[in-house]
Chains A and B, each alone.
Chain A
Amino acid sequence: MTTEAKLFERGVHPAARRLAARASARGGHFGIRWDWFLVPAVLISLGLLALPQGMFILLSFHADLGLGQVSLAFTIDNYVRVLTDPFYGHAFWLTLYLSVAAAGIGLLVGFPAAYALARIGGWIASSLISLILTTSLVTVVVKLMGLNLILEPTGMINRALLALHLVRNPVQMLNDQTGVLIGLVQYTLPMTIVLLFGVVQTIPVSLEEAAATLGASNATIYRKIILPNSRAGLIATGLIAFNMSMGAFTSAVLLGGGRVLTMPVLIQQTIIQNTDYAKGAALSTVLVAFVFLINLSIGAVFAARGRKAAPDAG
């Protein structure tokens, strides 16, 4: 291949530059108006989003007449009920507590695990990452069946505890908050590790080595190098795990045995078992609005801090 051709291939040949300039003057690569591709995509997505969601929110402002019928009169009774009834308040706090706990445990285990993966590197790390992703891609019911078998009164953990005479009676983990919490960690941990792996990878190992050479203790290295460099990633990842848990339905039902009433479980029960569509819609709207607000406020707080700490960072 001639030098001329090589240059042309890399797009640095003057002729190619001229072509590129002409193409972009026409509004895109070789004259296609790429913006037009957005039209069908936006129309389809908007059609699937706005109309059903809008009607759902409207539904929440009408009184339920039973049998899935709602009155025509506008009312905020559903919201008053949802926001003042201690039954819903309890469900709300339970969901919040379980989600914060699941995200916290995920970060506590996931961060050192991701750190180890990033520092091991090479094919071992990439095959372990593939394995972790595979566990997250297999349908959740399979994982929950396995967890059920492990946690049940005659399951492996209880048999081991009984055999070691650590407990007299099997420990109740299923149909309980403990089981749901374990299920939520199982659900969110793969994503937590994979995202944090990307974060730790951006911290050069030479920084740690330099600090150690200069006599910094482990605690100092954590406090001054590892944590400050991964704070943004930790917050973003924790938030994603929190969001996933706030909406988690299947784990809460199958490990909670219908006794752990989180918001997603309650929404499904309200609509399917009680056929109270209006209240179900109000519950859903409150849940989604709350999760959005948390994300927005943490994002805003963090953006403000980031600007203060590093004025030149985008």
Chain B
Amino acid sequence: MRGEPDWSRRIASKCALAAAMVFLLAPFIVVLGSSFGTASEYRVDFPPHALTLANYAAISAGYIHAASVSLLVGSIVALLASIVGLCAALGLVRGRLVGREALQSFFRLPIQIPFVVTGAVFLQFYYQFADWTGLNLLSGPLGLILAHVFVAVPYSVGAISAVLVRFDPALEEAAESLGAGRWTTFWEVTFPVIRPGVMAGLFYAFIVSFGDVPVALFLATGPWTTLPVRIFQDMQFDFRPSMLAVSALISIVSLAVILGVQKLAGLELVEPRRR
């Protein structure tokens, strides 16, 4: 047995890896490929027989509007969630409060609740809120933004904490001893060091908001319908080849943004763990 090529551990595991990669990438390859094909309402052309941009030219103004709504909502959500996340992470990592462990679990709660439930919870809350105050949060994007901040905060807290725990406090003490004030030290020393964490938090919060269907399905209506919800609704009721082009564009832009953020900000692909 000794010295023999180790079949099961070396080769079988690589086969599993190859299968997993094919399985995970196949949907993207099919969407990208058929987006350049001559698809009709009834049949998708994959692998494409002739390359054409017809599907891209057919993208309706409605999709472009939905994309801009998603971008706007995602950006505001990313900003708000990161502010909350930065405060929470600073307090959790550097504070001395008793019971910080419990608070950590508290900040992780929103991702333990199914998104459908979160959508339903906020929908009925906004009805009640309108009853009390006369303010209808569902008429604009504000209701959706608040619900998305709720589900995105755990990701910001996780990403910023992960960087903050490795921060060397001596850097700050050195800055202070050299005469820098508290806030100068924070902005000149602390923030630049934890910036990758903040960037990762912004990025994850944006992704959570931009990719969400179940929450937005309850809370985004009319002109404020987001892009994933629009595609979701069209997929359920009528398939149009231009949806392939929209989806292909989403994949390409996502990949470019992820690579860009990784390169520019030194993004650490940290995920908040549940325990």
Write the chain A residue with the least CB distance to B127.
A68
Could you tell me which residues of chain A, from 258 to 293, have a CB within 8 Å of some CB in chain B?
258, 264, 267-268, 271-272, 277, 280-281, 284, 287-288, 291-292
Q: Report which of A27, A109, A145, A271 forms a contact with B31, defined as CB distance below 8 A.
A: A145
In the bound complex, CA of A142 to CA of B70 (Å): 15
On whether the beta carbons of B91 and A55 are closer than 8 Å, the reply is no
Whether B235 lies near A254 (C-beta < 8 A) is yes
Q: A135 CA to B26 CA in the complex, in Å?
A: 10
Asked if B166 lies at the interface with its beta carbon under 8 angstroms from chain A, I say: no
The size bracket of the interface on B is 35 or more
> Which residues A160-207 have CB closer than 8 A to chain B?
185-186, 189-191, 193-195
Which of A147, A236, A250 has the largest number of chain B CB atoms within 10 A?
Answer: A250
- Interface segment among B53-61, B191-199, B267-275: the answer is B267-275
Residues 105-127 of B, flagged 1 when their CB comes within 8 A of A and 0 if not, give 01101101111110111111101
Query: Nearest Cβ in chain B — how far from A252, in angstroms?
Result: 10
Inter-chain CB contacts under 8 Å: number: 320
Give the docked Cα–Cα distance between A51 and B125 (Å): 8
B217 touches A268 (CB 8 A): yes
Q: Mostly helix, strand, loop or mixed at chain B's interface? A: helix
From B43, B91, B174, B262, A34 is in contact (CB under 8 Å) with B91
Instruction: Please state if B121 and A34 are interface contacts (CB–CB under 8 Å).
Output: no
The residues in A between 109 and 166 inclusive whose CB is less than 8 angstroms from any CB of B are: 109-113, 115-117, 119-120, 128-135, 137-150, 154, 156
Determine whether the beta carbon of B271 is less than 8 Å from that of A45: no
Instruction: Confirm or deny: A72 has a beta carbon within 8 angstroms of a beta carbon on chain B.
Output: no
Closest to B181 in A: A30
Name the one of A29, A68, A138, A246 contacting B114, with C-beta atoms under 8 angstroms: A246
Residues in A with CB closer than 8 Å to B6 are 212, 218
Interface residues in chain A, defined as those with a beta carbon under 8 Å from any beta carbon in chain B: 8-11, 15-16, 19-20, 23, 27-42, 44-45, 48-49, 51-53, 55-56, 59, 68, 109-113, 115-117, 119-120, 128-135, 137-150, 154, 156, 185-186, 189-191, 193-195, 208, 212-213, 215, 217-218, 221-222, 236, 239-240, 243, 246-250, 253-254, 258, 264, 267-268, 271-272, 277, 280-281, 284, 287-288, 291-292, 295, 299
Known: A32-B182, A116-B14. 16 other contacts (CB 8 A): A9-B170, A10-B170, A44-B153, A52-B122, A56-B121, A119-B10, A142-B27, A142-B31, A145-B31, A146-B31, A186-B23, A186-B24, A212-B2, A218-B6, A250-B232, A254-B236
